[in-house]
Amino acid sequence: MSPDSLTAENRDLRSMADALFTAAIDREATRSGDFDADLWEELHAVGLADLTAPASVGGSDATWRQAALVLDSAARHGIQVPVAEHDLLAGWLLRTIGDPDGSSRTDTFGLSNDGASCVLPWADVAETAVILREQNGEWHYARLRLHSDDAPPAVAFGGVTWSRLSELEAVNWKPVGSPGVADAVIRRGAAVRSIQVAGAMDGMNSLTVEHAMMRRQFGQPLRKFQAVQRLLADVAAHSALAGTAVARLVDALEQDAVTDADVAVAKSCVGRSAEVLVRASHQVHGAIGTTQEHRLHRFSGAIYAWSRDFGGAATWERKLAEHLSGPEAAQDLWRLVTGV
């Protein structure tokens, strides 16, 4: 998102987010890949945790564009916080359904594919989880209280712990009501992941440019070599393309007119461009970028972890192709491109 297109209010919001996430970069928690509980408290304190919740329940009433700014800022700084899961997914679902319990301090969110288990991020640190599942065409959700003494099987991926919750058959499943709600939350999930991946791609682009300018080999900075310039141009191009696809999506979200096709455009462009960008960025960094110590893997790891969540590029491309197979396919395609 280019700064010149932001309102003054949104520029301030972004400055605030940038300052918080910049300060978090060198903290021990970030460096060791742990959850930064202090940062999460700070985000609560300044109103960035319950970002889009209405003021009446203590939220900040933020728009999609504002939420995207915050997610983008965290991602481009290589910082992992559960803003998306807590506020935009679990919180939104509970508010939309009108769940009487309301949000906890830290909610996470997951989709259950088989109805009995669920792989989701942040279950190691969240108080509660909202799980969504479909059975026989009906969507249900469950609110689970997570206990820190339970230790479900888990794996660290992209700076977040992903846990597998199981034996979910017996929990208290409640109907979500209208089926549109479940579709909407999946679109929202795919959207936040696209925003986050594009942000991380921008962060990776910056690191790569910086490295190519500072690192000297054969007596000159890497950026002087044409072969390296080719990589740098590809990184910049694919970062810009992903950013554009996401900006297009955020416009649709902001107008409350988002379709599966809009999400597919972002998921596909972001996913495909990420693959090119991650490879080229690592190539420019050389062996230095392959260590635990270097920040680069925080970005590439996050990109891969987020890219596949709520359906990867291939899933959404198939969905879009289906949308473009009707009797008016050509018109549908051009309408998707031009909006008219």
Partner 1 sequence: MDQTSRPVTTSEINSLRREVRGFLAAFRREGRFTPTVDCWVRGWDDEFSKELGRRGYLAMTVPTAYGGQGRTHLERFVVTEELLAAGAPVAAHWIADRQVAPSLLAHGTEEQKREYLPRIAAGECYFGIGMSEPDSGSDLASVRTKGVKVDGGYRITGSKVWTSGAHRAEAFFVLTRTTPLGDGGKHEGLSQFIVPLDSPGVEVRPIVSADGLHHFNEVFLDEVFVADSAVLGRIGDGWKQVTSELSFERSGPERFMSTYVLLESLIAEGRVQEHGSRQLGRIASRLAALHTLSFGVAQRLHRGGPADTDAALVKLLGTEFEGDVVAWAADEMDGQAHDPMGFIGQQLRIAQVQRAGFTLRGGTSEVLRGVVTRGLTV
Q: Give the footprint of partner 1 on this chain (CB under 8 A).
A: 4, 206, 209-210, 213, 223, 229-230, 232-234, 236-237, 240-241, 244-245, 247-248, 264-269, 272, 313-314, 316-322, 324-325, 329-330, 333-334, 336-340
Q: Which pairs from 131-138 meet CB under 8 Å and 24+ separation? A: 131/165, 131/168, 131/171, 132/93, 132/176, 132/182, 132/185, 133/168, 133/173, 134/182, 137/179, 138/175
Compute the least distance from the CB of residue 249 to partner 1, in Å: 10
Q: How far is the CB of 106 from partner 1 (least distance, A)?
A: 34
Q: Which residues contact 258 (CB under 8 A, 6 or more apart)?
A: 187, 191, 249, 252
Q: How far is the CB of 65 from partner 1 (least distance, A)?
A: 15
Vertex 284: Cα angle to 25 and 4 (nearest 5): 55
Q: Nearest distance from residue 186's CB to partner 1, in Å?
A: 17
For residues 333 and 324, give the distance between their C-alpha atoms in angstroms, rounded to a whole number: 6
Q: Which is nearer to partner 1, 96 or 206 (CB)?
A: 206
Q: How far is the CB of 259 from partner 1 (least distance, A)?
A: 12
Rounded Cα–Cα distance for residues 139 and 158 (Å) = 29
Task: Determine phi and psi for 6, rounding to 5 degrees.
Answer: -95, 150
From the CB of 30, what's the least distance to partner 1, in Å?
21
CB nearer to partner 1: give 187 or 272: 272
Tell me the C-alpha distance between 111 and 239, whole Å: 29
Nearer to partner 1, 223 or 279 (CB): 223
Element (H, E) at 59: none
Q: Which is nearer to partner 1, 8 or 340 (CB)?
A: 340
* 176 or 242: CB nearest partner 1: 242
For partner 1, the closer of residues 106 and 208 by Cβ is 208
User: How far apart (Å, rounded) are the C-alpha atoms in residues 182 and 176?
Assistant: 7
Three-state DSSP class for residue 121 = strand
Name which of 151 and 337 has its Cβ closer to partner 1. 337
- Please report how close the Cβ of residue 335 comes to partner 1 at its closest, in angstroms: 10
Q: What is the phi/psi pair of residue 226, to 5°?
A: -60, -35
Residue 137 per-residue DSSP state: T
